[in-house]
Structure 1
Amino acid sequence: MFFLNVAVLIFSVMFVSSNRTSIVTKENTSLKVEKSSIQQILVNQETLIRLELEKKVKSLENDVANLKKENEGIKQGFLSKLLVQEKELTDMKSQLNETIALRGSVEDLDMKYTRISKNLTEYAKPIAFEARMTFSSQGSKRSTLIFDHVILNHGNGYSNVTGKFTAPMDGLYVFGWHILAVYKMVTHTALIVNDKEISANYCHTKGTDGHQPCSKMAVVNLATGDTAWIAYTGGGDYHTNAYYSSFSGVKI
């Protein structure tokens, strides 16, 4: 009986052990299958994630390439606009320089016009004088005859203090002078321009019964500032009473 119980006990133990082994084996197999499934899932997820990343990277690369193209286009457009603006700026500078030069030319023309107008105005003004003597005297050779009584003096060229005419402007001038030589005397006078004798007048009254009037005229080309006067060049007295002796000139 004892042995029978022992046998039963041993059989029971073996049975339980066998069941446990079977259960452990099944659990191990199940774990392996589950692990394999998990690994496959991980592999699939990794593949999906990698594909998605590759897709995104490709998209980003395409975006970068497109941005580069757009930037290149923008750069080319900017450079083209810059070149156009530089050309416009150059043209504007050229036009400005031309305007400045033209303005200078216009100012020069205005100055020339003003000067010419002034000259024409001055030229249009009459230049003429006439003066006579109010006293009688005897002069030495090369002394200036002073015609002290001014009748006409347009242009203010004649001075009754010095007896000389100063040309206010360039031009042709006609001068005339009239001298009354005293009875039985010889009177020599001449038109002097800048200390140079231009034209002479000779009055001879010897052998006559009265005074002798003598007149002379000369045409002279004068520059502005030239002086002209009548000088006594020899002979005797020159008579100046009652406006008989005079000196006149006019620009033609």
Structure 2
Amino acid sequence: MYLMLTILGLLVIQRISCSEPQCSRFHYEEQTLLKMLKLELFVEKMKEDIQSTQQKVLETLQSLDKEKNGLKQDYQEMKERDEAVMLRYAQEVENLKESAKRPTIIFQSKGLINLSPSAGETLVFKTTMLNEGNGYNNSTGVFTAPAAGVYLFTIQLCAHSKHDAQYIIMAEDKEIQRGFFYDTESNSCGTANGLTVLKEGHRVRIKMQYSRQLMESTTAWNTFSGVLLHTY
């Protein structure tokens, strides 16, 4: 382009410096060269326009590519979230299935047959208020596990004022809880819990550590209860 401008300048200078008769033989060449120069200028302008358009197209493609990558990332994150939600729902369904399969085992009994048990004697609670699974025997005071699992047992014993009630919760031949209740001011009841893992057929009972005199009334119950928390 710069070469064409230089040639154009020289032609103009020559045209000014020459007389018409001397320069007339160059008239055709001059017109042709001017046309070529205009064509070159037009081509250069088109080239610049094309380059500008190409740059804009490139920028647009880069922008679209960036947007596409962003959409892919959003899709992946959404997919991972959906998969996590589906896994959580699937786990909840499995938990519900397990809960549906778990047997209901729970019992509660009250009312001691003997309020003056001797040392090592098993406490027998004669009135069965609840016995889902038929694990508790109110003739022996022994609970026999209908299914293997984790069990929670609770006792409440009532003692006269200034007399203690010392107990042991036994699972087969293993002590799972021991303690005593005592009050110097008045008759009182105390509550204790014991957790254990039982196999099917394992037995649980409450025994006294020492010979003691217990008390009972319509407002103070001696009780023994248990519930299956989780099966194996």
Residues 128, 154 of structure 1: 8 Å contact kept:
yes
- 1:137 positional shift: 1.6
In the alignment, which residue of structure 1 is the partner of 2:120? 142
1:123–1:179 distance in 2 versus 1, CA, 3 Å:
farther
Whole-angstrom distance in 1 between the partners of 2:147 and 2:113: 31
1:122–1:146 distance in 2 versus 1, CA, 3 Å:
farther
Whole-angstrom distance in 2 between the partners of 1:123 and 1:189: 35
What is the identity, as a one-letter code, of the residue corresponding to 2:153?
F
1:144–1:122 distance in 2 versus 1, CA, 3 Å:
farther
| Residues 66-105 of structure 1: CA deviation (Å, up to 9, x unaligned) | xxxxxxxxxxxxxxxxxxxxxxxxxxxxxxxxxxxxxxxx
Residues 110, 129 of structure 2: 8 Å contact kept:
yes
In the alignment, which residue of structure 2 is the partner of 1:185? 163
Whole-angstrom distance in 2 between the partners of 1:143 and 1:171: 27
Gaps of 5+ in 2: 1-97
**Are 2:134 and 1:156 equivalent residues in the alignment?**
yes
TM-score, reference length from structure 1: 0.49
1:123–1:201 distance in 2 versus 1, CA, 3 Å:
farther
Q: Which has the larger radius of gyration?
A: 1
1:185–1:235 distance in 2 versus 1, CA, 3 Å:
farther
What is the identity, as a one-letter code, of the residue corresponding to 1:251?
L
Whole-angstrom distance in 2 between the partners of 1:235 and 1:186: 10
Whole-angstrom distance in 1 between the partners of 2:227 and 2:133: 10
Pick one of 186, 207, 223 that aligns with 1:246: 223
What is the identity, as a one-letter code, of the residue corresponding to 1:210?
S
**Equivalent residues, number:** 131
TM-score, reference length from structure 2: 0.53
Residues 180, 238 of structure 1: 8 Å contact kept:
yes
Percent of pairs with identical residues: 27
Whole-angstrom distance in 2 between the partners of 1:134 and 1:178: 11
Residues 112, 123 of structure 2: 8 Å contact kept:
no
Residues 146, 163 of structure 1: 8 Å contact kept:
yes
**Are 2:177 and 1:204 equivalent residues in the alignment?**
no
Tell me, what secondary structure is at the counterpart of 2:210?
strand
Gaps of 5+ in 1: 1-119
Q: How much is the aligned-residue C-alpha RMSD, in angstroms?
A: 2.0
Tell me, what secondary structure is at the counterpart of 2:185?
coil
1:135–1:194 distance in 2 versus 1, CA, 3 Å:
closer
Q: Which moved more, 1:144-153 or 1:208-217?
A: 208-217
| Residues 34-60 of structure 1: CA deviation (Å, up to 9, x unaligned) | xxxxxxxxxxxxxxxxxxxxxxxxxxx
Residues 201, 214 of structure 1: 8 Å contact kept:
no
Residues 136, 239 of structure 1: 8 Å contact kept:
no
In the alignment, which residue of structure 2 is the partner of 1:93? none
Whole-angstrom distance in 2 between the partners of 1:151 and 1:248: 10
In the alignment, which residue of structure 1 is the partner of 2:41? none
Whole-angstrom distance in 2 between the partners of 1:135 and 1:194: 22
